[in-house]
C-alpha cells in the first residue's frame, strides 16, 4: 500500500515557473485599467468602447454564487493583475526570434514552436499569461485562405471580421464572468475558415498561466463560413501556486450553412493540492452558434484540472437541420469541484443534439453535471438524446446531475438517461486476477467508461487524455 | 506444486476455513465438493487473493514459495488462474483488448516480447476454437450482455489464452445447459497437461463425468473431511452429504480436544 500512497502524491509535472521578465500592470480593476490595457495593446477606439460597455455591465451584475454546486471564498477582483506579458520584440520576423526561455517553456510542455521542431499537422497559437507569443504555420494556412492568428493581430489586421462577430454569440452582458472577460481580455486566438475550405490541418491553442498573481482572460473566436470545416484543439496548464488564480475565458463559434466546427479541449490547469490549497478557478463561457442550415458544432472536453470548473459549452441551433454535440469527461479528485455541462437551444426545424457526459469523482471531490435542453416553439421535429453517467471512486466524493428540459414544441423528442456506478472491489479483483496491476486495472475501467467521449477526440489527444486520466487517478483506489 | 497447511480464513469477520490441508502435484485434477456454505468458493478466492478474504492462520506454498504474501496480480502472473463463478462486467473495454493486456502482462513477467494487436488476434482466434466461441464476442465489452453460458465459456477462453500452471474453476458448471457444459468441459480437458494442475470446485457430480478428476475431496465446515478417487463423487451423488457431515462433526470435536491439550 505504501507504493500507492507514494503515487497519490505524484507531482503535477507542469507545475514549474518560467523565470522571465514581464511587463506587468498594477493590480486592480477600473476604467483606467481598461484604458491602460487598450493603450498597451494599441487598440482602436471601438475596442475601448466594447470593453467599457462590458465593464459597466459587469459593475451592475452579481457573481453567480448561488446556483452552481460549488463553494469558494470571496474573490477580490481588485487583487488580480489583469495584464502580464513577457517582454519581447513586438513584431517577429520568424518564430526563432521568440525569447528562447519561452520556446523552452513550451517545449517542456510538449509544444515545440521553433521552425524545425513544429508538430506536423497541427498549427499552434501559444498564449503565455496575457498574450499570444507565437503562432505556427500561419503562412501555410494563409495560402488556403485560412486566417489563424492571435486576437491582437486579428483586431489590427482584420477589424471588419472581428467587429462583425465579436460578442455576437456571447454578448458582453451575457453573464458575470463573460462581462469581466469582455472588459479585460488581453489576447487569445482568432480563426477564420472561408467559404468552401476544409482547413488542411488541426488548429490549436495552448494556454499557459505563469504569473502567480495574474488572471488569464482570453478570447477565442472561430468562424466557419459556408461549407467550411475546422477541427480545433486547446490545452491548458499552469504552475503550482498556493494562491488561487482566476481564469475567465470566452469562446465564440459561428458556423454558417453546411459548415462544421469540431472543438476539443483537454483542460489540465493546476488543481490545487490534496487539501484544496491553490489551483485555478476556471470560469469559462463557451458557446457556438449554428447559424446556417445543416451546420454542425461539436464540443468535446476532457476536464481534469482546476480547483473549480464552471463551464457549459453550448450550442444555439438556429439553422434548420443543424446539429449540436457535447461530449464530456469531467474528472475530479482530492478537493476539486466541477459544475459543468451544456446548453442545447433548439430554434430551427429538425435540429438535433446529442449530449454524452461522463463524470468521474474520486477523493473528497464534488462533480456535478448541469445541462439545459430547450426546444423553442418553432423547432418542429427537434431531437435530443442525453446520457449522463457518473462513476464514483471511494466513498467520500459526490456526483450530482441537474438536467433542465424545456420543450415548447410537441413534435420534439427528448431523451434523457442517467446512471451512477462505483468501481467495485470485485471489478478490480477480476482484472488483477488476470495479471493486470491495480493501476492498469483502474485506468482500463476508467477508459472503458469514457470510451464514447474519447473516440470523438483526435487521435493524439485521445492518447494524451487516457494517459492524463490514469495519472490523475493513480493511488485513488486501494 | 501447491501445499495448503492448516489454512484458516475469515470473510467479514466470520471464520469459513478452519484448518484446511491439501496437497496438489502437477498433472493432477482435484475436485472439491461439499454442501453450500462449506467453504469451497472461499478456498478458491483465498488462493487467488481476494482482498475481502483474510487468512488468519496456516500457510500456502506455491512452487515452494509463500503464496499469501503476493498480490492478486502477482499470483496471476506466477500462473494461478481463477475461473469466476460470477464473471464481472467491464463496460467499454473490449474482450480482445482486455485479453491482450492480460496476456502481455504475463509475457512481460516471463521476459518475453509483447504481442501486437494483429499477432494477438491470430492467437485469440485459434484459442477461441477450443471453447467454440463466436468471434463477435471478442469485440464486445468484457462479459457485458453475455448470457450465463457465454460468460463461463469466456472464462475458459481466458484460461486457454493465459495457460495457467494452476487453474481453479469455481462452480464453472453452475447455470450451464448440457451443451454448454460439454463445451466447457471439452475446453478444460483440452488444456489439461502433465505440467499443470486443476482444482474443480463443484456442487454436482455431473461435471465430473466430463472432466474426470484424479482426486475428490469433501469440504465441510471449512476443512476436508474425506478424500478419495473419482468414485467418491459417485458415492456422494448416491448418498448425499449427511453421512459425511456426522463424521465431519466428530472430526472437528476431536480436533478441538487435541488443540485444547
Q: Could you report the predicted ipTM of this complex, rounded to two decimals? A: 0.93
Contact yes or no for A438 and B98 at CB 8 A: no
Kindly determine whether residue B109 and residue A434, on different chains, have CB atoms separated by under 8 Å.
no
> Does residue A433 belong to the interface with chain B, where contact is any CB pair within 8 Å?
yes
Give the start-to-end residue ranges of the domains of chain A.
8-311, 431-478
pLDDT over 90 at B261, yes or no: no
Question: Which portions of chain A are predicted below pLDDT 50?
Answer: 1-9, 478
Instruction: Enumerate the H helices of chain B as residue ranges.
Output: 40-48, 72-77, 95-109, 117-130, 148-162, 178-191, 206-210, 231-239, 242-260
pTM score of the predicted model: 0.85
Distances (CA, A) of B187 to A149, A165, B10, B124, B157: 63, 67, 33, 14, 8
Mutation for testing the A interface, residue in B44, B46, B89, B92 having most A CBs under 10 Å: B92
Residues A184/A34, Cβ–Cβ less than 8 Å: yes
Check CB contact under 8 Å for B158 and A434.
yes
| pLDDT tens-digit series, residues A439-478 | 889 888 988 999 999 888 877 777 777 777 777 776 665 4
Q: SS3 for B83?
A: strand
Cell numbers of A162, please? 472581428
Confidence of residue B260 (pLDDT cuts 50, 70, 90): very low
**Contact call for B105 and A450, based on CB within 8 A:** no
CA dihedral sign of residues B63, B65, B69, B71: negative
- Quick: pLDDT tens for A225-282: 999 999 999 887 777 778 888 999 999 999 999 999 999 998 888 888 888 888 899 9
What is d(CA B28, CA B5) in angstroms, rounded to the nearest whole number?
18
User: The cell 469466456 sits on which residue?
Assistant: B154
Q: What is the pLDDT of residue A469?
A: 77
pLDDT digits (tens, 9 = 90+) for A424-441: 888 999 999 999 998 889
Q: Would the CB atoms of B92 and A425 count as touching at under 8 Å?
A: no
Round to whole Å and give the CA distance between A101 and A17: 11
Is the Cβ–Cβ distance between A373 and A344 less than 8 Å?
Answer: yes
Q: Do B71 and A450 touch (CB under 8 A)?
A: no
**% residues pLDDT > 90 (chain B):** 71
Nearest CB to A449; choose among B82, B91, B105: B91
For residue A369, report the phi and psi dihedrals to the nearest 5 degrees: -100, 130
For an interface test with A, give the residue of B48, B72, B110 to mutate (most A CBs within 10 A).
B72
Mean pLDDT of chain B: 90
Q: What is the pLDDT of residue A100?
A: 82
Q: Could you give the CA distance from residue B101 to residue A431 in angstroms, rounded to a whole number?
A: 10
Query: What cell was used for B9?
Result: 480464513
pLDDT for position A89:
58
Among B75, B84, B101, the residue with its CB nearest the CB of A430 is B84
Amino acid at each position: 500500500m505504501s507504493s500507492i500512497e507514494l503515487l497519490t502524491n505524484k507531482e503535477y509535472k507542469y507545475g514549474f515557473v518560467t523565470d522571465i521578465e514581464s511587463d506587468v500592470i498594477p493590480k486592480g480593476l477600473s476604467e483606467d485599467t481598461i484604458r491602460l490595457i487598450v493603450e498597451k495593446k494599441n487598440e482602436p477606439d471601438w475596442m475601448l468602447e466594447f470593453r467599457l460597455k462590458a465593464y459597466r455591465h459587469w459593475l451592475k451584475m452579481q457573481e453567480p454564487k448561488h446556483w452552481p454546486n460549488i463553494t469558494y471564498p470571496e474573490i477580490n477582483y481588485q487583487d488580480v493583475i489583469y495584464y502580464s506579458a513577457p517582454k519581447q520584440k513586438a513584431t517577429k520576423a520568424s518564430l526563432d526570434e521568440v525569447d528562447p526561455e519561452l520556446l523552452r517553456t513550451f517545449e517542456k510542455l510538449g509544444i515545440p514552436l521553433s521552425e524545425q521542431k513544429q508538430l506536423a499537422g497541427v498549427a499552434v497559437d501559444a498564449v503565455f499569461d496575457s498574450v499570444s507569443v507565437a503562432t505556427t504555420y500561419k503562412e501555410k494556412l494563409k495560402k488556403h485562405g485560412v486566417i489563424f492568428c492571435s486576437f491582437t493581430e486579428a483586431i489590427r489586421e482584420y477589424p471588419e471580421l472581428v467587429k462583425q462577430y465579436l460578442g455576437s454569440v456571447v454578448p458582453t452582458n451575457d453573464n458575470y464572468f463573460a462581462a469581466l472577460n469582455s472588459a479585460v481580455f488581453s489576447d487569445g486566438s482568432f480563426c477564420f475558415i472561408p467559404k468552401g475550405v476544409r482547413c488542411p490541418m488541426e488548429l490549436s491553442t495552448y494556454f499557459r498561466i505563469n504569473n502567480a498573481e495574474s488572471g488569464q482572460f482570453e478570447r477565442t473566436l472561430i468562424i466557419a463560413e459556408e461549407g467550411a470545416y475546422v477541427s480545433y484543439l486547446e490545452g491548458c496548464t499552469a504552475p503550482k501556486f498556493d494562491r488561487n488564480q482566476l481564469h475567465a475565458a470566452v469562446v465564440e463559434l459561428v458556423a454558417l450553412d453546411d459548415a462544421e466546427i469540431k472543438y476539443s479541449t483537454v483542460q489540465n490547469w493546476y488543481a490545487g493540492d490534496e487539501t484544496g490549497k491553490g489551483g485555478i478557478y476556471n470560469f469559462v463561457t463557451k458557446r457556438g452558434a449554428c447559424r446556417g442550415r445543416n451546420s454542425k458544432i461539436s464540443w468535446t472536453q476532457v476536464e481534469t484540472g482546476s480547483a473549480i470548473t464552471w463551464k457549459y459549452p453550448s450550442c444555439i441551433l438556429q439553422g434548420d437541420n443543424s446539429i449540436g454535440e457535447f461530449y464530456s469527461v469531467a474528472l475530479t479528485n482530492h478537493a476539486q469541484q466541477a459544475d459543468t455541462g451544456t446548453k442545447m437551444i433548439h430554434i430551427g426545424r429538425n435540429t438535433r443534439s446529442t449530449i454524452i457526459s461522463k463524470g468521474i469523482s474520486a477523493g473528497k471531490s464534488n462533480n456535478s453535471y448541469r445541462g439545459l435542453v430547450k426546444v423553442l416553439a418553432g423547432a418542429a421535429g427537434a431531437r435530443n438524446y442525453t446520457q449522463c453517467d457518473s462513476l464514483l471512486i471511494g466513498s467520500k466524493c459526490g456526483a450530482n446531475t441537474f438536467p433542465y428540459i424545456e420543450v415548447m414544441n410537441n413534435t420534439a423528442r427528448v431523451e434523457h438517461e442517467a446512471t451512477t456506478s462505483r468501481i467495485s472491489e470485485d471489478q478490480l479483483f477480476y482484472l488483477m486476477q488476470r495479471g493486470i496491476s491495480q493501476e492498469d486495472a483502474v485506468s482500463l475501467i476508467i477508459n472503458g467508461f469514457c470510451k464514447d467521449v474519447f473516440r470523438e477526440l483526435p487521435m493524439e489527444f485521445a492518447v494524451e487524455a487516457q494517459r492524463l486520466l490514469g495519472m490523475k487517478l493513480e493511488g485513488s483506489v486501494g | 506444486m501447491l501445499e495448503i497447511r492448516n489454512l484458516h480464513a475469515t470473510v467479514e469477520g466470520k471464520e469459513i476455513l478452519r484448518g484446511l490441508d491439501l496437497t496438489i502435484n502437477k498433472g493432477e485434477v482435484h475436485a472439491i465438493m461439499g454442501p453450500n456454505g462449506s467453504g469451497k468458493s472461499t478456498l478458491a478466492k483465498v488462493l487467488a487473493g481476494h482482498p475481502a478474504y483474510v487468512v488468519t492462520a496456516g500457510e500456502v506454498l506455491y512452487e515452494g514459495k509463500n503464496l499469501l504474501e503476493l498480490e492478486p496480480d502477482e499470483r496471476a502472473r506466477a500462473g494461478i488462474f481463477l475461473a469466476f463463478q460470477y464473471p464481472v462486467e467491464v463496460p467499454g473495454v473490449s474482450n480482445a483488448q482486455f485479453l491482450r493486456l492480460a496476456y502481455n502482462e504475463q509475457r512481460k513477467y516471463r521476459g518475453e516480447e509483447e504481442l501486437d494487436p494483429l499477432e494477438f488476434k491470430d492467437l485469440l482466434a485459434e484459442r477461441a476454437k477450443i471453447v467454440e466461441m463466436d468471434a463477435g464476442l471478442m469485440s464486445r465489452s468484457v462479459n457485458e450482455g453475455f448470457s450465463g453460458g457465454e460468460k463461463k465459456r469466456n472464462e475458459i477462453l481466458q484460461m486457454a489464452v493465459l495457460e495457467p500452471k494452476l487453474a481453479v474453476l469455481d462452480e464453472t458448471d453452475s447455470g450451464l445447459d448440457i451443451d454448454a457444459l460439454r463445451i466447457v468441459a471439452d475446453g478444460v480437458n483440452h488444456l489439461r497437461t502433465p505440467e499443470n494442475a486443476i482444482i474443480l470446485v463443484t456442487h454436482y457430480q455431473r461435471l465430473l463425468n466430463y472432466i474426470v478428476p484424479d482426486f475428490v475431496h469433501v469440504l465441510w465446515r471449512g476443512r476436508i473431511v474425506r478424500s478419495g478417487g473419482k468414485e467418491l463423487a459417485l458415492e456422494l451423488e448416491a448418498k448425499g452429504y449427511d453421512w459425511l457431515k456426522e463424521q465431519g462433526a466428530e472430526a472437528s470435536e476431536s480436533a478441538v480436544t487435541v488443540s485444547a491439550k
